[in-house]
Structure 1
Amino acid sequence: MHTRANLLDAAFAVFAAKGFGRVSIEEVCEAAGYSRGAFYSNFGSLDELFFALYRQRADLIAEQVSAALASDGPGLDVPAAVERVTEVLLLDRDWLLVKTDFLVHAARDPEVARTLLEHRARLRRAIADRLARARGHTALPAVLGDTEEAAHAVVAAYDGVTTQLLLDRDAAGARLWLGQLLTALLTDGSTRQ
């Protein structure tokens, strides 16, 4: 397990620096200080390692969001929940570079796309479940439709802000913008953080 974790850490650094399509198994092994044999005893291919890395980080984000949304009672204090979510979300530029590589890879490969869609569905489910539990206590703007549509909108807002973060490299600004955008999206827009 230690070898696998070291390979994942090394791969993350190499993928972030060079891009997924420009990395070889040898480069990952060299960065981790392991042989190809150690690589193949943990992963069948570079794609498998990439999926494992993506899954590891994506699961962390889903857990962070779920935990941040779990602290309210039956109602949902949208500005407070948004603030908690934006504080814990992984807005690491290197992760966003790797995530973007995965997205581009998925756009070209239906099998990879299924993996990405499964993660995004888990994330949306966590958000939609929390919004559904708040129904009756906290109203969503009618334009969002149901909680599933609201969850899609939240993930789309996150995607937009993180894409901008890749370009301007302002993590503090990205957290602020994401908070303002989500608060406006999930309320009538008059509630400010």
Structure 2
Amino acid sequence: MTAAKRVTVRRAETRRRLLDAALDVFAAEGFGRTTVEQVCDHAGFTRGAFYSNFSSLDELFLAMWEERSAAMLDDVRTALGGVAEADPDAALRAAFHAIPVDDAWFRVTAEFTAHALRTPALRRVMAAREQAILDAVLPAVVAALARGGRRVPDETALGQALVAVHDGTSAQILLDPGDPAVRARREHLFFVVLNAYSTPSSPDRESEELP
């Protein structure tokens, strides 16, 4: 291995450890109370290692969010593409279950969102990234609905409604994690929203509804 490649590998490993450490510290301490020193201590690095990878905790969080969003999108696309064309409802259900509800991540994102709402430039970055996620996943959802004989008149409205379902029901699940009825209602609401924001492609399908 060349010296340059060793540096690249070491830098990637440092970045990985900083990201992992930050999630632990953010979840335990709260984003607003976390310092660069705490993240460095948890990762076993100095401030120099931190600032050679990130300019701020905001940048670190955004990198973490981008990474987790990319993984989630891959899982959703795989779920939507892994079910037979003849069973679009199963594909949509699989995609729904591919979106994780994670206690630590929910706490961190909720706190960072509040932080971003107080920072106009950061708020615009968050809004743009949320839209990028919807732009990436909605075409696959719309295609699955189309295979089931339904069309989506307003994809933006559907996307916003699905985000609202995810965020609101995630909080309910995390507040009462042992109740399977909460998860069942979450899945039911997901399909209610899909049905409400789509219409039959042809008149003879008017009476059909998603489960």
Q: 1:130 to 1:65 in 2, by over 3 A?
A: same
Unaligned runs of 5+ in 1: none
| Partner SS for 1:187 | helix
Instruction: Check if 1:167 corresponds to 2:167.
Output: no
Q: RMSD across aligned C-alpha pairs, in angstroms?
A: 2.6
Contact kept, 8 Å, 1:161 with 1:178, in 2: the verdict is yes
Unaligned runs of 5+ in 2: 1-11, 197-207
Report the TM-score, using the length of structure 2 for normalisation: 0.77
Q: 1:19 to 1:131 in 2, by over 3 A?
A: same
Instruction: Check if 1:56 corresponds to 2:67.
Output: yes
Q: Percent identical across equivalent pairs? A: 34
Contact kept, 8 Å, 1:10 with 1:28, in 2: the verdict is yes
Structure-2 residue corresponding to 1:146: 154
**Distance across 2 between alignment mates of 1:135 and 1:56:** 28
Mapping 1:104-115, distance limit 5 Å: 104-115=114-125
**Distance across 2 between alignment mates of 1:66 and 1:124:** 12
Mapping 1:86-165, distance limit 5 Å: 86-134=96-144, 136-140=146-150, 145-165=153-173
Report the TM-score, using the length of structure 1 for normalisation: 0.84
Larger-gyration structure (1/2) = 2
**Distance across 2 between alignment mates of 1:92 and 1:136:** 31
Structure-1 residue corresponding to 2:186: 178
Structure with greater contact order relative to length (CA < 8 Å, sep ≥ 6)? 1
The letter for the 2-side match of 1:20 is: F
Q: Which moved more, 1:12-21 or 1:122-131?
A: 122-131
Structure-2 residue corresponding to 1:47: 58
Contact kept, 8 Å, 2:26 with 2:108, in 1: the verdict is yes
Instruction: Check if 1:19 corresponds to 2:27.
Output: no
